[in-house]
Amino acid sequence: MSEAEVHDVARRGRVAAVGLATATRALKDAALLSMADAIEAAAPAILTANASDVETARQDNTAETLIDRLTLTADRITAMADGLRDVANLADPVGEVVRGYTRPNGLRISQVRVPFGVVAMIYEARPNVTVDAAGLAVKSGNAVLLRGSGSAYHSNLALVQVLADAAEKAGLPSDSIQLVPGTDRSSVSHLLHARGLVDVVIPRGGAGLIEYVVTNSTVPVIETGIGNVHVYVEATADLDMAEKIVVNAKVSRPSVCNSAETVLVHRAVAGEFVPRITSALQAAGVTVHGDPAFAGQSGVVPASDEDWAAEYLSLDMAARVVDSTDQAIEHIRRWSSGHTEAIVTRDLEAANRFVAQVDSAAVMVNASTRFTDGAEFGFGAEIGISTQKLHARGPMGLPELTSTKWVVYGDGQIR
């Protein structure tokens, strides 16, 4: 795709954004429900398109786990439709007054949530992100440009056609939901340089994709989701609780960004806890990559700096014994990706210090790192988990898809 073609798509999005910004909640919710019904009704065509993507992926010898992520079924389509219905039930973030006051000179000032305008989502493999992102964009009054993976191109094309058509029939502006055409990387690059046409780019995917987007974009980016996550078992920890939390944080869903990758154990409890957590993790199928203190345990692989840096996203866990809470914090400061870290402790001072000094989007005391999640935080929907400090940090809900505008009423005031 040429730059002109991609920027034309963005320009159509800008026109749609004008109407979307003032669409009522009633209209947006009606559109979401129509979109849900439409993808269920169009399931046969969507499944056919998806089958052709899956066929190509098989011919390319794609890994089975990726094929599973790519594959749609009737049940998965119903789940996507139900997701849209859930979004219809959420509060509308647009129009919320964030702050408001009257100045001594009588000016009435309020800061009001407004949509960004045009949001571009760049993502990998799973076609359900297409539906999710379209739903969240509609609800927050943003026009959306969807750039999924080339491997899901036909699935995304079929889904967006159905979604866009249903949204327009329900009364939303045309081009509210658009697929960025083309499957080559140049179309991504053109999107990233559409400054003034696209208000924000949100990449969702692996480290490579996110790095590419952040390094190349002149449009503002919200970074999401790399998680090198730590659990620190402090000297006073309840070791039963610590074992439960470490195993849950690692094993309950190893492929997601809030799963733990490293356990740090205070030397004072290492004698008891190192053999115990090693066995428990191994019993759950985990390969432990340990420092010298762990390496004495049977089956433990010696850890190197690569292990401290790794976001395994698999049944592997790095493990280290530390001399103090300060050393644990220092280890986290050096190796963490700033997503989530947890401490297990009964000591108030240690908990306070850990919370104050660990610089991550979420810091947990006596809870599994798996709770860093939009649904678990009560947001109802999640756009992703931001690991940057600008605009949004941690799980992002609908309000994080908005900006604000200052509205000032006077009766002739001048300076």
**178, 144 in Cβ contact below 8 A?**
yes
- Report the candidate in 271, 239, 359, 254 with the shortest Cα–Cα distance to residue 311: 254
- Report the candidate in 363, 398, 342, 409 with the shortest Cα–Cα distance to residue 94: 398
Which residues, listed in sequence order, are joined to residue 244 by a DSSP beta bridge? Answer: none
Minimum CB separation of residue 329 from a copy of itself in Å reads 9
Please give the single-letter amino acid code of residue 159: L
**123, 212 in Cβ contact below 8 A?**
no
Sign of the CA dihedral running 23, 27, 29, 35: negative
Rounded-to-integer distance, Cα 326 and Cα 332, Å: 10
Residues that bind a copy of itself (CB under 8 A): 18, 21-22, 101, 103, 107, 109, 111, 114, 116-117, 195, 199-200, 214-215, 218, 220-222, 238, 241, 244-245, 248-249, 252, 333, 351, 355-357, 359-368, 370-372, 376-378, 388-391, 393-395, 403-415
Q: Residue 61 or residue 101: which is nearer to a copy of itself going by CB?
A: 101
- Cα–Cα distances in Å, from 203 out to 68, 152, 226, 294? 21, 16, 11, 37
Minimum CB separation of residue 234 from a copy of itself in Å reads 14
Q: Residue 321 or residue 361: which is nearer to a copy of itself going by CB?
A: 361
Q: Residue 220 or residue 292: which is nearer to a copy of itself going by CB?
A: 220
Q: Residue 45 or residue 365: which is nearer to a copy of itself going by CB?
A: 365
Minimum CB separation of residue 357 from a copy of itself in Å reads 7
Note the residue count of the chain. 415
Minimum CB separation of residue 319 from a copy of itself in Å reads 19
**321, 270 in Cβ contact below 8 A?**
yes
Q: Identify the residue whose tokens are 């898809």.
A: 401
Extract the tokens encoding 85.
């219905």
Q: Residue 71 or residue 404: which is nearer to a copy of itself going by CB?
A: 404
Minimum CB separation of residue 341 from a copy of itself in Å reads 11
Please give the single-letter amino acid code of residue 401: L
Alpha helix (H) residue ranges in 102-258: 128-139, 153-169, 185-192, 207-216, 239-251
Q: Residue 59 or residue 104: which is nearer to a copy of itself going by CB?
A: 104
Q: Residue 42 or residue 362: which is nearer to a copy of itself going by CB?
A: 362
Minimum CB separation of residue 408 from a copy of itself in Å reads 5
Minimum CB separation of residue 38 from a copy of itself in Å reads 29
